[in-house]
Amino acid sequence: MAESARHQVGSKPLIKWTLIGLALSVTLVLLVIPLVLIFSQAFSAGWGTLMANLGDEYTLHAIGLTLFVALVTVPLNLVFGTALAWAVTRFQFPGRKLLITLIDIPFAISPVVAGLLYLLLYGRNGWVGSWLGQYDLQLMFAWPGIVMVTVFVTSPFVARELIPLMQQQGSQEEEAGVVLGASGWRVFRHITLPNIKWALIYGVVLTNARAVGEFGAVSVVSGNIRGETNTLPLHVELLYQDYNIVGAFASASLLAAIAILTLAVKGFVEWHQARERDLQPEHRTEK
C-alpha cells in the first residue's frame, strides 16, 4: 500500500502533496541552489583555473594554517568534551546544572564578541597580554590567538553530542563493570567508549567543521596578514573583497566540500544508530 494504513492529520493527498511541494521548494531555494552555486562559480572559469587558484601560494598557506588550527583544536575539545560529559552524566555534585549551562556560552555569544574577549585579555593592552609582552610573547594577531578563539567557539560540540546520549544510556553498565572488579580505565575503554563511539565521531566532525570554517572570531584576532595569519575563510573574504570572485569561490568550494563530508558522516552515524536501535528486541515478547 502506498498510503499509510493509519489515518493521520494531514494525510489527505491534497494537503500532503502541497506541504511536501512547499518543503521541497524551500529546501531547493534556500539550501540546494546555494550549494550548487558555490561549485558552479568555482568551476566557471574551467578546471585549470580552479587548480591554479587552489595552487596559489597564499591559498596553500591558508589551507595549511586552517588544517593546523583544526588539528590542535579537535583533540583539545575531544578531551574536554568527553571529560565534561563524564563528569555531569556520571556524578551528582553541586553546580552540575550550572556547568551544563556554562558550556553553551560559546553558542550564544556572537563570534565577534568572542574574538574581542580574547583580544582584550591577551592583546598588548590586556592584563595577561601585557605581562606576556614583557617576555616578547605575542598571542594575538598570530596563530596562537587563532587557535585560542577556535577552541572557544568549538568547545560545546563534543560535550553537546555526548551528554544526552550518556544520560539516556545511564551508568548501569559501568556499575556492572566495577562490581566485576574492572579498573577505571578498563571500564572506560571497554564499556563506555564502544557505547559512545558514534556520537563521539559526530562531535569530532562538527568540531572540525566549525574549526575549519570559523570566521568572525578569527577575523578579530588574526590581523589578516596574507601568507601568515590568513585562514581559509579569511582568505575567501580577502579574495572576494579584491573582486576575485572565481578565486574566492574556489577556496569556498573546498570549505563546502568539508561541509558536505560532515553531512555525510552525520547521515552515516544516524543510520548506524538507527540500525542498532532496531536490533534491540526490547518490545518483543518472551516466547
Partner 1 sequence: MSIQIDQVNKFYGQFQALHDVSLTIPEGQITALLGPSGSGKTTLLRIIAGLESAERGRILFGGEDISQLHVRDRNVGFVFQHYALFRHLTVAQNIAFGLESLPKKQRPPKPEIRATVARLLEMIQLPHLANRYPAQLSGGQKQRVALARALATKPRILLLDEPFGALDARVRKDLRRWLRNLHDEFHFTSVFVTHDQEEALELSDQVVVVSHGRVEQVNAPTELYARPESRFVFDFLGQVNEFSGQLKEGRLVQGDAWVRLPESPSGSEAQLYLRPHEVRLTSEPSEQAHFPFCIEAVSLIGSEVRVELKAQGWQSEDVWEVGISHAEFNRRQPRRGDRCYAVPDIAHLFAEGQDQPRTISWGDSA
Partner 2 sequence: MTETVTQGAVATPRPFLVKRNKRVLPGFTLSLGISLLFVSMVLLLPLSGLVVEASGMSWQQFWFVISDPRVVASYKVTALAALAASLFNALFGLLLAWVLVRYEFPGKRLVDAMVDLPFALPTAVAGITLATLFAETGWYGQWLSKLGLEVAFTPVGIVVAMAFTSIPFVVRTVQPVLEELSPEDEEAAMSLGASDGRIFRKVIFPALWPALVTGAALSFTRSLGEFGAVIFIAGNMPYVSEVTSLMIYVRLQEFDYAAASAIASVVLLTSLVLLFAINLWQARFLRRLEGR
Task: Please report, as residue ranges, which positions from 82 to 141 form the binding site for partner 2 (by CB under 8 A).
Answer: 83-84, 86-88, 90-91, 93, 99, 101-114, 116-123, 125-128
43 binds partner 2, rule: CB under 8 A: no
Instruction: Say how many Å lie between the first and final Cα of the chain, rounded.
Output: 30
Q: Which three cell numbers stand for residue 227?
A: 601568507
Q: What are the distances in angstroms from CA 135 to CA 120, 122, 132? A: 18, 13, 5
Q: Is 5 in the site for partner 1 (CB under 8 A)?
A: no
Question: Which CB sits closer to partner 2, 61 or 213?
Answer: 213
In angstroms, give the least distance from the CB of 151 to partner 1. 31
User: In the set 96, 124, 190, 272, which binds partner 1 (CB under 8 A)?
Assistant: 190
Q: Name the grid cell of 86.
A: 563524564
Chosen from partner 1, partner 2, none, partner binding at 191 (C-beta under 5 to 8 Å by type): partner 1
Helix axes 57-90, 193-213, angle to 10 degrees: 140
User: Could you tell me how many residues make up the chain?
Assistant: 287
| 132 to 139, 190, 224, 280: CA distances (angstroms) | 9, 43, 22, 56
Site map 174..193 versus partner 2, x via CB under 8 A? xx--x----xxx-xx-----
Q: Does 176 bind partner 1 (CB under 8 A)?
A: yes
Span of 51-59, 136-144, 240-248, 272-280 interacting with partner 2 by CB under 8 A = 240-248
Among the listed residues 271, 233, 228, 224, the one whose alpha carbon sits nearest the alpha carbon of residue 255: 233
Q: Could you tell me the three cell numbers for 66? A: 586552517
Question: Could you tell me how far CA 35 lies from the centroid of its own chain?
Answer: 18
Least distance from C-beta 50 to partner 2, angstroms? 16
Burial of 148 (0-12, 13-18, 19+ CB in 10 A): buried
Task: Tell me how far, at minimum, the Cβ of 189 lies from partner 1, in Å.
Answer: 11
Candidate list 104, 242, 270, 276; residue touching partner 1; CB under 8 A: 276
Non-local CB neighbours of 215 within 8 Å, separated by 6+ positions: 111, 233, 234, 237
Interaction of residue 285 with partner 2, rule CB under 8 A: no
The interface with partner 1 within residues 194-233 (CB under 8 A) comprises 194-195
Binding interface with partner 1 (CB under 8 A): 172-173, 175-183, 186, 190-191, 194-195, 276, 279-281, 284-287
